[in-house]
Chains A and B, each alone.
Chain A
Amino acid sequence: MQQAPANRVEGFAAPAEREIWRILADVPDPEIPVLSVVELGIIRHVRVADNGRVTVGVSPTYTGCPATEVIARSIETRLEAEGYEHSKVEQVLSPPWTSDWLTESGRAKLKEYGIAPPAQSVSNPKHLFREPKVACPRCSSLQTSKQSEFASTPCKALYRCSSCLEPFEYFKCI
């Protein structure tokens, strides 16, 4: 599985930047609020300039994700509340975000929330033409079937479990 650059950077960040990472770990994704923006893997870099001004690089999950602007505003608002004024969020398109960058804790929280986490790594793009086995987040059964390629947001597909008969959403591999 690809390692998220964000996580790599976080481990070696300077204290001032590590503090920003700590704050961001508490900023929820507006559409899946159990996940923080860090767990979603969309924070690409944090920079603190000599004058104290903070810049955060954020990748959109999908090109047209309407949450992108809400996320930028909530990061700026949160940083301001923590005393970092005039922080700036910049969009990072390359390399494109991948579901491989969801953190382990993020995946666990998704499952607990009732959304099946991505079933495999996307390191091999061929995966898109093979259907992964998706486990039901409620009963863990693999007897599930896809109802629709798209669900309430672009990042999820709609599935149904044949064991517990419940419908559920699946966070797609991309």
Chain B
Amino acid sequence: MSAVATTVTAASTDLRFRYALHLGDTSLILAQRLGEWVGHAPALEEDLALANIALDLLGQARHLLSYAGEIEGKGRSEDDLAFLRDPSDFSNLALVEQPNVDFGHTLVRQFLIDAWQLELFECLQGSSEPRFAELAAKALKETRYHYRFSSGWMVRLGDGTEESHKRVQAGLDALWKFTGELFAPGAVDEEAAAAGLGPDPASLRAAWNANVEQVLAEATLKKPADVSYRWYGKRQQHSEHLSHLLAEMQFMQRTYPGAQW
């Protein structure tokens, strides 16, 4: 709570709009990635779990994008914002757009983002904007379940067979370079923090690190070295994967504008 600036400058409409998009896009794109697992997960139980987590994330995205559309005041709905924006208009974290490789890789991505959302939503409950605070209180309860699921699997797979350990470690090594962005300055979340809308991204790092290190140790996994990051999704600089993801996600609305069912 203390992470939210106490000296509040009135957050401009534009800033609230961009911050809602940043948070909403992150949830939306991760939901889409998890949705790709439906019918393909290693067991029925995990198929259901990934779909259910995707659903929670989609719920967050719907609230945030609807709110963004409202404050923008140009009549854009949640669907317009999800289906009719170009990749360069999305401000999700680059971590969540990384393609699925195998179940272990997906679990690592989920775990890293769950641990981040735990801290984010905890702090966002103190937002000066009630709509963010209310959503955070709701989403936090769900995120605790996501985290319990993903951290449990990190330990089972990491401390499992030689093969499962190898795959999770490979996922961790591949994805770690995208975690720097979670706490990096110079983007919309830092501006939002200055206006009391949300936590300073850098302030989430210590608790995130502590959680992650504890789980990695239990999972007998090796924490990769931090590297400088080139991907800055929250400044709309994306890896090439986002365009491919959106091409699939937006296909219907782009091909048949205004189609409804």
Interface residues of A (CB under 8 A from B): 60, 62-66, 93-98, 125, 128-129, 147-154, 158, 172, 174
Contacts and interface: CB of A to CB of B under 8 A. Distances in A.
Contacts of B168: none
Contact of B149 (A63, A150, A151): A150
A66 B62 CA distance: 12
Interface of B: 45-46, 48-49, 51-60, 62-63, 130, 133-135, 137-139, 141-142, 144-145, 148-149, 152
A57 to B, nearest CB: 13
B135 A93 contact: yes
A152 B56 contact: no
Nearest to B133: A94
A64 B49 contact: no
A131 B205 CA distance: 28
A153 B63 CA distance: 20
Please give me the 10 A-B residue pairs with the lowest Cβ-Cβ distance, nearest first: A64-B59, A63-B59, A148-B45, A64-B55, A94-B134, A96-B138, A150-B52, A150-B49, A149-B149, A154-B52
Contacts of B46: 148
Contacts of A158: 45, 48
Contacts of B144: 125, 128-129
A61 to B, nearest CB: 10
A149 B48 CA distance: 9
Nearest to A152: B48
A125 B141 CA distance: 9
A59 B226 CA distance: 42
A91 B253 CA distance: 27
A65 B63 CA distance: 12
A147 B9 CA distance: 49
Contact of A63 (B48, B63, B130, B148): B63
B48 A151 contact: yes
A98 B141 CA distance: 9
A12 to B, nearest CB: 25
B107 to A, nearest CB: 13
Contacts of B133: 94
29 contacts: A62-B55, A62-B56, A63-B59, A63-B60, A63-B135, A64-B59, A64-B62, A65-B55, A93-B63, A93-B138, A94-B133, A94-B138, A96-B134, A96-B137, A96-B141, A97-B138, A98-B141, A125-B144, A147-B45, A148-B45, A149-B149, A149-B152, A150-B52, A150-B149, A154-B52, A154-B55, A154-B56, A172-B145, A174-B142
B152 to A, nearest CB: 8
A64 B58 contact: yes
Nearest to A158: B45
A63 B139 contact: yes
B49 to A, nearest CB: 4
Given A96-B141, A151-B48, A64 B148 contact: no
Contacts of B59: 60, 62-65
Interface centre among B53, B56, B130, B145 (most CB of A within 10 A): B145
Contacts of A93: 63, 134-135, 138
B168 to A, nearest CB: 18
A65 B56 CA distance: 7
Instruction: Name the residue among B46, B52, B63, B139 with the largest chain A CB count within 10 angstroms.
Output: B52
Given A62-B59, A149-B148, A174-B145, 17 more contacts: A60-B59, A62-B55, A63-B139, A64-B56, A64-B58, A93-B134, A93-B135, A93-B138, A94-B137, A96-B138, A125-B144, A147-B45, A148-B49, A150-B51, A152-B48, A172-B145, A174-B141
